[in-house]
Amino acid sequence: MEISNEGQNIEDYLKLHNDVLAFKIGKEFVDVSSENLKTTTEPIQGVTFHDEDGKHIFWHSSAHLMAAAIKNLYPNAKLGTGPAVDNGFYYDVDFGENGFDNNLKKIEDEMMRLAKQGDKFIRKKISKEECLDLFNGVNEYKCELIENLNDGDISIYKQGNFTDLCKGPHIPNTSLIKAVKLTNISGAYWKGDCTRNQMTRIYGISFPSKEELKTYLTNLEEAKKRDHQVIGKNLKLFTFSQNVGLGLPLWLPRGTVVRRQMEQFLRKKQIQAGYKEVITPHIGNKNLYVTSGHYEKYGKDSFQPIHTPDDNDEFLLKPMNCPHHCEIFKSEQRYYKDLPLRLAEFGTVYRYEQHGELHGLVRVRSFTQDDSHIFCRKSQVEDEIKNVIDLITVVFSKFGFSDYVARLSFRDLNDRSKYIGDEKDWDIAESAIEKIAKDKNLPFTVAYGEAAFYGPKIDFMVKDVLGRKWQLGTVQLDYQLPRRFNLTFLNENNEKEMPVMIHRAPFGSIERFIAVLLEHTSGRLPVWLAPDQVTVLPISEKYFDYANEILDKLKGVGIRAIADLRNEKLNKKIREAELMKIPFLVIVGEKEEQEKTVSVRFENATETTSIDVFIDKIRSLSEF
């Protein structure tokens, strides 16, 4: 809700809108008690729990509430950082020599006791010296954070007897937190550095009503039933091996079919859209990633350099495909008539994710991106990105994802050190991204600090059947890598000109996309994507020959079919086929053999038809 601040009494407004958690002034979020509300000339926007930004503010405040409860129960505990995340919040805590007793219920109860007190979240600006004095000798983690802050930009928040270092904003008071559930415990190294202290990370979620928590917990139970790791094992799609390594998935024959079908679908769409497919190695010289900036930004998250017999050579497992595609662009003289040049690759990349962060196919150390890099002129940027958005929406529609929003990921407003390149280029790129989103009528939010180090991006946040949000497709605008790699083409005047680079991946990570799809569908994949589309089930041994005849006809026209020729009861065969989520069950017996027909079970309906009609039906459902 947007309001004008002219003559507006904020206190009166809050009485009418008691669900407002904070305000947004331009690009900045502030507390409802902020003095800036009285002096700003910009429009003011109220933020509630129904807004994504409102949820994050609510959950960040809940992290502070949890920290206060922990300090009450474990006075010697030292707090690290406690941000909001996509579904709730966490706080990293050093519980000291005695460790943590894993009693989450005790912390929950203390949180609710404190919440009922209704303590206000009070912000205070503080000098760097004062802030260090506050935490010196008490919490070395906070002191380390303070040392890296600029004097004049530091603030603390107090609720009740608890004080924490924080930029804010926060909800007005703790009484707005009506329901809390602490969901998980894991280990986490301080600042993600495995050479630093290991802390206890406690995850939680909170809501402004008990009913919302109840709904969330119900969905959580349903999510356990839909766990893609369980589905993947039951359907024999993928596996993991300690001997191969953590976070390195092994794709089984049935899972490989799913992947190949996805690739063929997108490959066809890309050919139609003018993409040219390339293949690049799984490793690259370290200098390649130094040039691109990936080594500086992600070196700690990459596998360490591979040393060759020549001591002067160092290679890295490929963390990104884009530097390789830059070198392909440079491999020959390019001309303005060659642009846009759209290079596509199903490229496998490698990231050394921390052990505690690995999760099934969602977070792995080896994954394949449906990557493409479009090299174009500045005048072509808008049309190219719009075409990419059209392609991404086609992909989502094909896989049954209809509920999604775009997240415009821009630079951090306060910390420019995470990015490379000229500020002017960034301003142009961010303005272009926002204009394109509006032109395409995309529902979008803006996330500051989520940009890639080389440019802003549009990330697509997809809701699954349980309402959970997943980041899948992405398109990114990059003025920086072409400059770092000295990429040029000859324009109409035979002068060198630098191209603009667009990164895009409709699936994002194929592994992650499949994980989300399995949970969204409970493993019941559409006919065109199913590993086995048909299983032929003879009712007894007498009809094995006819079952094989049907099987041969199906396989002969490219339908993925199997036959269950075990000497088992038909009901058992049907039950096992249904557990494997095979779309079509073809049952044959005496009548079918005599009439040269098949009895087909599909989506809880049964019909008898000729084999040719049945084949036509499968083909129609298998089209890309």
Tracing tokens 């802050």 back to the chain, one arrives at 149
Q: Which of 270, 339, 320, 289 is nearest to 476 (CA)?
A: 320
Token pair listed for 355 = 């052990």
The residues with which 62 forms a beta bridge, in sequence order, are none
Average pLDDT, rounded, for the chain: 93
Task: Tabulate helix, strand, coil % of the chain (nearest 5).
Answer: 40, 25, 35
Tell me if residue 582 falls in helix, strand or coil.
coil
Tell me if residue 366 falls in helix, strand or coil.
strand
Per-residue model confidence (pLDDT) at position 2: 52
Lowest mean pLDDT among 33-47, 71-85, 312-326, 583-597: 33-47
pLDDT higher than 90, residue 302: no
Sheet holding 2-3, edge to edge: 2-3, 44-47, 22-25, 28-30
The residues with which 373 forms a beta bridge, in sequence order, are 343, 503
Q: Are 447 and 481 in contact (CB under 8 A)?
A: no
One-letter amino acid of 89 = F
Tell me if residue 554 falls in helix, strand or coil.
helix
Domains of the chain, residue spans: 49-221, 232-521, 534-621
One-letter amino acid of 466 = L
Intra-chain end-to-end CA distance of the chain, in Å? 42
Q: Dump pLDDT digits (tens) for 437-477.
A: 999 999 999 988 899 999 999 999 999 998 888 999 999 99
Lowest mean pLDDT among 3-12, 289-298, 496-505: 3-12
Q: Which residues contact 322 (CB under 8 A, 6 or more apart)?
A: 292, 371, 373, 478, 481, 501, 503
- Which CATH class name applies to 49-221? alpha beta
Lowest mean pLDDT among 17-21, 378-382, 467-471: 17-21
Q: Where would I find the H helices in 74-199?
A: 104-116, 128-135, 140-147
Q: Are 142 and 163 in contact (CB under 8 A)?
A: no
Per-residue model confidence (pLDDT) at position 7: 42
Q: Dump pLDDT digits (tens) for 538-551.
A: 999 999 999 999 99
Lowest mean pLDDT among 270-284, 304-318, 464-478: 304-318
CA 271 to each of CA 472, 506, 620: distance values in angstroms, whole numbers, following the listed order: 22, 15, 22
Q: Select 232-521's CATH number: 3.40.50.12140, 3.40.190.10, 3.30.930.10, 1.10.3720.10.
A: 3.30.930.10
**What is the mean pLDDT of the segment spanning 187-216?**
93
Tell me if residue 325 falls in helix, strand or coil.
helix
Give the catalytic positions in this structure: 322, 351, 369, 371, 373, 457, 503
CA 148 to each of CA 78, 347, 419, 526: distance values in angstroms, whole numbers, following the listed order: 19, 37, 17, 52
337 vs 624 pLDDT, higher one? 337
Q: How far apart are CA 340 and CA 387, in angstroms?
A: 12
Q: Which residues contact 416 (CB under 8 A, 6 or more apart)?
A: 423
Tell me if residue 234 falls in helix, strand or coil.
helix
pLDDT higher than 60, residue 486: yes
Per-residue model confidence (pLDDT) at position 6: 46
CA 600 to each of CA 95, 540, 610, 612: distance values in angstroms, whole numbers, following the listed order: 61, 17, 10, 13
- pLDDT interval class at 8 (50, 70, 90): low
Q: Answer whether the bond into residue 340 is a cis peptide, omega within 30°.
A: yes
Token pair listed for 98 = 């005695």
Q: Dump pLDDT digits (tens) for 231-263.
A: 999 999 999 999 999 999 999 999 999 999 999
Angle at 342 between CA 340 and CA 345, to 5 degrees: 170
pLDDT higher than 80, residue 414: no
For residue 167, the 8-state DSSP code is -
In terms of Cβ atoms closer than 10 Å to its own Cβ (0-12, 13-18, 19+), residue 143 is middle
Q: How far apart are CA 432 and CA 518, in angstroms?
A: 35
pLDDT higher than 70, residue 1: no
pLDDT higher than 60, residue 220: yes
Residue 505 phi/psi, 5-degree rounding, is -155, 100
For residue 363, the 8-state DSSP code is B
Q: Are 248 and 350 in contact (CB under 8 A)?
A: no
Q: What is the DSSP pairing of strand 584-588 with strand 534-538?
A: parallel
Per-residue model confidence (pLDDT) at position 590: 95
pLDDT higher than 70, residue 5: no
Task: Quote the distance between the C-alpha of residue 536 and its chain's center.
Answer: 39
Tracing tokens 């951090």 back to the chain, one arrives at 412
pTM: 0.83
Q: Which CATH architecture has domain 534-621?
A: 3-Layer(aba) Sandwich (3.40)
- pLDDT interval class at 356 (50, 70, 90): confident
Three-state SS string over 37-71 comes to HHHCCCCEEEECCCCHHHHHHHHHHHHHHHHHHHH
Token pair listed for 104 = 């989450």
Q: How far apart are CA 581 and CA 583, in angstroms?
A: 6
The residues with which 78 forms a beta bridge, in sequence order, are 94
310 vs 538 pLDDT, higher one? 538
The residues with which 284 forms a beta bridge, in sequence order, are 316
pLDDT higher than 60, residue 3: no
For residue 68, the 8-state DSSP code is H
**What is the mean pLDDT of the segment spanning 362-386?**
96
Count other Cβ atoms within 10 Å, centred on residue 462.
21
Q: Which of 485, 489, 189 is nearest to 320 (CA)?
A: 485
H or E segment at 85?
A: strand 84-85
Q: How far apart are CA 574 and CA 579, in angstroms?
A: 9
- pLDDT interval class at 591 (50, 70, 90): very high
**What is the mean pLDDT of the segment spanning 417-437?**
91
Per-residue model confidence (pLDDT) at position 242: 94
Tell me if residue 316 falls in helix, strand or coil.
strand
Q: Are 165 and 146 in contact (CB under 8 A)?
A: yes
Lowest mean pLDDT among 267-281, 411-425, 543-557: 411-425
H or E segment at 482?
A: helix 481-484
